[in-house]
Structures are given as C-alpha cells and as structure tokens.
Structure 1
Amino acid sequence: MGRQAVIDGGLTIGRDLAEEVPVALVYNGATQAVMMATPADLEDFACGFSVAEGIVDDISQIGEVEIARHGRGIELRIWLPAAQEARLAARRRAAAGPVGCGLCGIESIEQALRPPAQVPTAALRLNRADLADAAGALQRGQALHDATGAVHAAGLWRPGSGLVRLREDVGRHNALDKLIGGTLRAGESGAGAAVVLTSRVSVDMVQKSAALGAEAIIAISAPTALAVEMARTAGLTLVSNLKGGRPRVLAHPFRLVT
C-alpha cells in the first residue's frame, strides 16, 4: 500500500492507494503468465495459481518457490518435477494478463472451458443467517479495501467457524488464487466450506473454487450465465446478489435449508 498526495477541494491531502505491480509466474525458468497484482501473499499466489490453473494437481508437486524482486516487477520462480513440467509445456500458455482478465493467452477454447473438478456433496448446509454472516464477515475483514477502496476480496467461510481466511488483491482472480494457496498451504481444503467473493462470478472463478473443493460460492455480485452452467456441472451451490439483500440461488439449492 502506498501513500500519495491528491487534490481534494483545493487542499493537498494524503491518501492510501493500492499497489499494483507486474508479477511473473515462472515455471522451471519459463514465464507462464504475467499478472498485475498486489505484492502481498505471494507464495499463496504461486501455489494457488498453480493448482487453480491445473498446472499441478496438488501443492506437494511444487518443489520450491522463490520470490525475486527487481526493477518495478516481481518474479515468482516455481520449480516443478519433470512430469508437471511436461504437462505445462503441452498447454502452450504464455500470457500477460491485465487485472480484469483471467483467461488471457489461453490458445485453446477447450482449455478455457475445461470441465471443472467435481466438488463433494455431503458436508455443507447453509441457512439464510449463514449467508448474511458470510457476507458481513467478508466486508468487515477487508482492511486493504477499507484503506484504499480499490481491491477485491475472497474468503473461505465454514459453518461454526465463520470466516477462516481472507485474501485481498487488485485483481479478483488473484485474490481467489491467493485464498486457494493459503488454504492448501495450511493443510486444508474447501470441503464443507463456501468461497465468499466481492466480485462478479465468471466461469474461471467457478473453476478455481471447484479446484479448491469448495462446496458453494456466496457472491456479493452476480454471475454470468456460463458461470451458472459451470457451477451446475461441478455440483457447486451458487448464491448471488448478497449486495441486493435478496440472495438468489442459481445452482444446486439442496445445500440451502430453511
């Protein structure tokens, strides 16, 4: 977070601003993607991106993560064993993605629309009070957003435990990748939990949440039509429009109880 002088009503005052820097994800010496991101929770980002994008099946397949800062950017140097390196080479993905884009550089339409992981169906049950609690906890936990007004958040909410983890970033995809990485590095999964998002829900946000094993997405905003279709395919409950005060259940309502 940086602080700069701005003009407000003829006065020069200080204001906290969110940081945004190029972060390169480099696997075994080859750049896979460059994302504009908030330079925090970078090991979480490296691990979460690797799992959410299908580069590895589990963070145990990641050998080492090095953080190299130089110039105005950051390299996350991620080392993979031979099998994962070969799989990555076959994907032929190398891209520079702006904040608003999570699919930049994917050469295959089939890869962009890859089938999501199937999520568990037994553990999670939610009621209306749970939805309100999850949304409220996410809002209260956004320290960086409170200071800057310019970042997204993704959280993991469990019944009985509340919001157990939260990550913030200028990019909504990055925030979710960081949440995934932080959860997996803690030895946990999304089973029996819901991902809570401040942003709209696009198809890749569903794919990433399913990769974590989360059973539901609770979104402050609305999803796209394709995201709803993907959630139904994954077996993932999708609840949206928390900001409007009347939650809409758009996929797998069996986890919602009155």
Structure 2
Amino acid sequence: MSTSKTRSQIWTVENGQIRSRSDQLATEEPLEIRLVEPNHTLAITMRTPGADFELAAGFLYGEGVVREPGDIRAISYCVDPEIDGEQRYNIVNVALRQGLKPDLPSLERHFYTTSACGVCGKTSLEALRIRHAPVEFSGLEITTEVLHRLPKQLQAAQGLFKATGGLHAAALFNVQGELLALREDVGRHNALDKLVGSALLKGRLPLTNQIVLVSGRASYEILQKCLAAQVSIVCAISAPSSLAVSLAQEFGITLIGFLRQERFNVYSGLERVRVTTDGKGN
C-alpha cells in the first residue's frame, strides 16, 4: 500500500559545501474514483495517499452526487486481480444506494485533474445558484483573539508537513478555536475533500457553525466545497481569488485572507467577526 511519505537521496548546498543526505518527500500519486453500478470513472486526481475514502466521499459530496452518509453504500479499494497489487490502492470504488442516479455527463470535466487545479470547468456561479442556498446568518461570531490563534494550531498539527515541507492542510475549528479535525494533501482541494468527506461519513454535516482554515490561498474551488458543506467562516493563510470573493459575497460566507502575524483581511461577512483587544472577548 502506498505511503504518504517517500524517501529520497538529495544533495544540500550550503556555505560553499555540498553534502549528501536522505530526505522525505510528500508522495504524489494518482487516485481514480470509480462508481460501480454503473461502472464509470468519475475523476482521476493527483493526491497524497491516505484518507482516500474520505477524499472520494468529500469529492462526491462537493459535486452534489451524494447528500448524506446513506447515499454511499460502500467504499473500497479495487479488487480487480488483473491490476497490479500496488496500483489497486490508487483506485477507489464507490457503490451508491439503490436508485441514486448521478448526472454522469456533468461530471466528465473531472476525468483528470492535477493536485493543484481542483475542480475545473465552472466559469460562473450559475450552477451554484441552482444547487445551493446562501449560508444562513445565525448570530455566529468569532473573535479576533481566536482567529489569531488558528494558524499556529494548524501548523503545530501538520505532522506530514513537518516531515516533508510539501503539503497543504485544511483544518476544522469551532468558534472557541478548538481544533476539531485536520487533513493534509499535496492539493488544497484534496485536503478539503478529505476533511468534508470525514464529516460526511461520520454524519456531522452541515458545518454551519464551524470554521475552515486552509494553509494556502482561497480559490473558487475551495469556496465551492465550503458552500456545499455550509461552512459559515472560511479562512486562508494566503490570498483569495476574485471569484472566491464573489462567491463568498453572494452566498453569505465570511471570507478571511492573509491570516498571519496578528493581522488579516475580511473580504466578506464582517458581521461574524468581533474585534477584541484584551484576549477575553471584551
């Protein structure tokens, strides 16, 4: 079975000296997500092995193929004897509940994606307007004191990043700043799919009163997946894209970018952010 880290021999050049040493890299391998009955490949994405079933479940949820845990009858690795044993762990078979008929033509754009590109092919918000209602404002607030703590918690919990230096993360927090879950992957969107898929399989969706923090930038794909999970507050260590901001504004999501070094920018949903100065919420 594939592992999330791969050992490699490297040469370090420093202060005019060259030395050889062993290093660990973030593993990047293809994952094929297949439906059974009908037998159909939905997507092939480059990912870091680990939490593959959660990734598949989160992907299907974000695309509207499934809406609740009961929509998935079974998830398993490939058992085809004609496929090399190691490669079987790069293929995930998903059996949907009887009677659930996904719109296969609409998913054809996902046949191949890289670890960076996410869910490609949507150039407007029209499809989201049909599928999703805005995130309701229920009086949820998060203080600036809590927000400032989130990046350090994410960094401290990134075990694979510490070993490889080459992975993104998506983390789930409550409004008190407690870390509830974290997933890592070479792709931002894969890490988020794993996080949402974990919540789906445990029956913990929607995530209306919780916060998602991603380690990189906030792209349209990231906001799309958070909208599907009804996340109220989305934070990013880096910048958001223009379309991500448009999506957040239209659907009532609080979007925070450049969350680092005791500062951040709010691009949408300022009403959920409460400024505090003494660390006690006052």
TM-score using structure 2 length: 0.84
Matched residue SS, 2:162: helix
The alpha-carbon deviation at position 113 of structure 1 amounts to 5.3
Letter of the 1:158 counterpart: N
Distance 1:67 1:138 in 2: 30
Q: CA deviation at 1:146?
A: 1.0
Determine the C-alpha separation between the residues in 1 that align with 2:92 and 2:137: 35
Deviates further, 244-253 or 233-242: 244-253
1:18 to 18, 22, 26: 26
Q: Does 1:208 align with 2:225?
A: yes
Deviation at 1:218, TM superposition (A): 1.1
The answer (yes or no) to whether the contact 2:69–2:203 under 8 Å persists in 1 is no
Query: TM-score, with normalisation over the residues of structure 1?
Result: 0.91
Is residue 25–residue 78 contact of structure 1 (8 Å, CA) maintained in 2? yes
Between structure 1 and structure 2, the one with the greater Rg is 2
Name 2:246's counterpart in structure 1.
229
Return the alpha-carbon distance in structure 1 between the equivalents of residues 228 and 144 of structure 2. 26
The change in CA–CA distance for 1:110 and 1:221 in structure 2 (over 3 A counts) is closer
Amino acid at match of 1:134: L
- Describe the shift of the 1:180–1:112 C-alpha distance in structure 2 as closer, same or farther (beyond 3 A): farther
Counterpart of 1:251 in structure 2 is 268
CA contact (8 A) 1:17 1:148 kept: yes
Q: Partner of 1:214: helix, strand, or coil?
A: coil
Q: Is the 8 A contact 2:146 2:177 kept in 1?
A: no
For structure 2, the 5+ residue unaligned runs are 79-84, 276-282
**Contact map agreement 1:117 1:211 (CA 8 A) in 2:** no
Partners of 1:185 and 1:81 lie apart in 2 by 14
Equivalent AA in structure 1 for residue 242 of structure 2? A
Separation in 2, partners of 1:32, 1:38: 18
Equivalent residue, structure 2, for 1:2: 6
Structure 1: gaps spanning 5 or more residues: none
3-state SS, counterpart of residue 128 of structure 2? coil
Instruction: Write the letter of the residue equivalent to 1:4.
Output: S
Quote the residue 2:164 is aligned against: 148
For residue 103 of structure 2, the aligned residue among 49, 73, 88 is 88
- Return the offset for 1:54: 1.4
Equivalent residue number for residue 160 of structure 1: 176
Once the two structures are TM-superposed, the CA of residue 161 in structure 1 deviates from its matched residue by 5.7
Q: Map of 1:56-135 to 2, 5 A cutoff?
A: 56-68=66-78, 70-71=86-87, 74-81=90-97, 83-84=99-100, 86-93=101-108, 94-104=110-120, 106=121, 109=123, 114-115=128-129, 116-122=132-138, 124-135=140-151
RMSD (Å) for aligned C-alpha atoms: 2.0
Deviation at 1:156, TM superposition (A): 0.4
Mapped partners of 1:193, 1:123: distance in 2? 12
Percentage identity across paired residues of the two chains: 30
Aligned to 1:169: 185
Tell me the matched-pair count.
Answer: 255
